[in-house]
Amino acid sequence: MSQTTETDTAGRPGASFGERGRTSGAGSRASGSTEAPAGGRPHRVVVLALDGVIPFELSIPFRIFGRARTATHEPLYEIVTAALAPGPVRTDADFSITVDQGPEALAEADTVVIPASYRLGPAYTEGRLTDDLAAALAGIRPGTRMVSICTGSYVLAAAGLLDGRPATTHWSSTEHFQRLFPAVRVDADVLFIDDGDVLTSAGVASGIDLCLHMVRRDHGTAVANEVARLSVVPPHRDGGQAQYIQRPVPEPQFATTTGARAWALARLHQPIQLRDMAAQEAMSVRTFTRRFREEVGISPGQWLTQQRVERARHLLEDSDLSVDQVARDAGFGTASSMRQHLQAALGVSPTVYRRTFRAAPVSARR
């Protein structure tokens, strides 16, 4: 993915403009999904712990990236925690943490992650950085991937990195965020947004979704799924899924759509009609569609397409099936139909995706 990097007059890291959209697909990666990291060392992720950091969000990058391994169990990422000054950093809990690395660690980062903090100061109240935070960010190399979890997006926006770009933050802060940063294209309804070299997530657990998405984007579905399995979390929630679902856990007196989803997943290779899914729960199509959206956050049709795209990705990475066979097994029917859906979801064709995320033929890996 070719990019043009700009640096603003204050010396802060400028926006590197690549492919745009909620998710940017596979174009940034050249090596196979379990190859040793390029350059002789793992991809370095530096997590910036600011005063008032939320411990849960702070731990997400280490937990997710730290579990990503090659086929020979070598780490794919190196995770470093840094602060504006080495030493104690207060959290929003009843304890502090000690951070050994200072802001100089940011200069060696391939990816910088800024978790949420309840003490963002003028970044939250005035939309500007403190001098020490501005100086720390100025040391980041142009082109470094910048990531925020929850209200960490205020720091990226105050640094000017989100101007003119799509971004999200915790749903309860989106109105305030938009007023403070009118140049940012805020989307309040998604779990995360991948805008190439700048990625933002909504609150709390959506940071897990974003980090898993980055592992999937960097190293493929198989690696990301293994990280999810070790972390006991769902392997994939699409970035466009709603942040806030009105009834995520249905009340006991209401029927759910869980059975219909399991039924559909078991026969993705077959044509599936909305009325057939509704019949599994003995609901009318109208009631089923409403209940499905309340529980999942998207329509049944959108969900079904997502599952088929994930099935196709898995088969392209881990099988020797032809593109036509993958299309049939994933339920797209034809290679042309699958190509259109993968292009829309990932920005690449099935052939390019397979070439990007497969290190070797399946027969050679057995």
Q: What is the pLDDT of residue 358?
A: 72
Q: What is the pLDDT of residue 71?
A: 87
For residue 252, count CB atoms less than 10 angstroms from its CB and return exposed for 0-12, middle for 13-18, buried for 19 or more. exposed
Q: Tell me the residue length of the chain.
A: 366
| Residue that has been written with the tokens 């800024």 in this structure | 114
Q: Which two tokens stand for residue 287?
A: 């009631």
The answer to whether 311 and 268 have CB atoms below 8 angstroms apart is yes
Q: Which two tokens stand for residue 318?
A: 């881990």
Q: What is the pLDDT of residue 32?
A: 36
Q: What is the pLDDT of residue 24?
A: 36
Beta-carbon contacts of residue 364 (< 8 Å; ≥ 6 apart):
none
Q: What is the pLDDT of residue 97?
A: 97
Residue by residue, pLDDT tens for the chain (366 residues) are: 222 223 332 333 333 322 223 443 333 333 333 444 555 789 999 999 999 999 999 999 999 999 999 989 999 999 999 999 999 999 999 999 999 999 999 999 999 999 999 999 999 999 999 999 999 999 999 999 999 999 999 999 999 999 999 999 999 999 999 999 999 999 998 889 999 999 999 988 899 999 999 999 999 888 998 999 898 887 666 555 555 544 444 444 456 898 999 999 999 999 999 999 999 999 999 999 999 988 888 899 999 999 999 899 989 988 999 999 999 999 999 999 999 999 988 888 999 988 888 754 443 333
Q: What is the pLDDT of residue 34?
A: 40
Q: Cα dihedral sign for 90, 141, 22, 264?
A: negative
Q: What is the pLDDT of residue 236?
A: 62
Beta-carbon contacts of residue 325 (< 8 Å; ≥ 6 apart):
none
DSSP 8-state secondary structure symbol assigned to residue 36 = P
The C-alpha atoms of residue 215 and residue 60 are separated, in whole angstroms, by 13
Q: What is the pLDDT of residue 359?
A: 52
Beta-carbon contacts of residue 275 (< 8 Å; ≥ 6 apart):
285
Q: What is the pLDDT of residue 41?
A: 85
Residue of 303, 178, 179, 196 lying closest to 240 (CA atoms): 303
The C-alpha atoms of residue 138 and residue 210 are separated, in whole angstroms, by 25
CB atoms within 10 A of CB 322: 11
Buried/exposed code over 128-141 (b: 16+ C-beta within 10 A; e: otherwise)? ebeeebbebbbbbe
Beta-carbon contacts of residue 286 (< 8 Å; ≥ 6 apart):
none
The answer to whether 280 and 287 have CB atoms below 8 angstroms apart is no
Q: What is the pLDDT of residue 360?
A: 43
Q: What is the pLDDT of residue 204?
A: 83
